[in-house]
Structure formats: structure tokens, C-alpha cells
Amino acid sequence: MRITLKYFASLREALGPGGTLDWQPAAEPTAAALRAWLRAQSDAHAQALAPGRAVRVAVDQALADGATPLRDGAEVAFFPPVTGG
């Protein structure tokens, strides 16, 4: 399935801005499953997306969580906790 991946702030610095991904999920396509798959792609990914790290996710530009299902063509963004205002 096709995923548009985006990273912001410290994750963007570690992994780049993201891009388009052709992902073949082994099980239910969820945000947590994608995060786990990404961790296996490189040492930088493993570190930036490590389970203990505070990483937030948005699916199709709405805040989501690990259980959020992903559809073909979804836009998925990973970023640290927000600090605006």
C-alpha cells in the first residue's frame, strides 16, 4: 500500500522530511505497525522511532495513536510532542 510519510522537528533532522513509501504490511496496517516497520529500515530509524521515545503520530492530518488503521494512500506523520504557542 502507498503511504505518504512525513517527519517534523527532531525526527525530520534525524530522518529527513519523508516521502512516498510502498509498504507491504505483514499484518493489520496500523500506525504502530508502520512505526515498527520503519524502525527496521536503518539504525537512524531504530533510534529516532525507538519504543521508549516520545513520538506522536498523525494520520491524514489528524492526531492519531498506534491503533489507528491506515488506508492505501494515507498521509502519516511522525513528530515529537508539540511545543507551539
Residue with C-alpha cell 519504543? 51
User: Among 85, 78, 61, 71, which Cα is nearest to 17's?
Assistant: 78
Q: State which of positions 29-48 bind other proteins (CB under 8 A).
A: 31-32, 34-35
5 binds other proteins (CB under 8 A): no
Nearer to other proteins, 46 or 63 (CB): 63
Q: How far apart are the first and last CA of the chain?
A: 36
Residue with C-alpha cell 539504525? 43
Which parts of this chain interact with other proteins (CB under 8 A)? Answer: 6, 8-10, 12, 31-32, 34-35, 49, 51-58, 61-63, 65-67, 77-85
